[in-house]
Chains A and B, each alone.
Chain A
Amino acid sequence: MPLYTVTTKQALDAPSKQRIVNGITDTHCAVTLAPAMFVQVIFSFGIELRKGCKAHVLGSIRSGRSDDVKARLKTAFAKHIAEAMSINADLVQTELLDVPANCVIEGGAIMPEPGEEAAWLESYYQRYG
Chain B
Amino acid sequence: MIAVRMFLIMTVITGILYPLLITGVVQLTFPEKANGSLVIVNNKTVGSRLIGQSFDTAIYFSSRPSAVSYNPLPSGGSNYGLTNVTLKKLVEERKQKFLTFNQIASKTVIPSEMLFASASGLDPHISPEAAFLQVDRVAKSRHFSFNQKQKLRQLIVKLSESPQYLCLGEERVNVLLLNLETDTIK
Q: Do A and B come from one complex?
A: no
Q: Residues of A with Cβ closer than 8 Å to B?
A: none
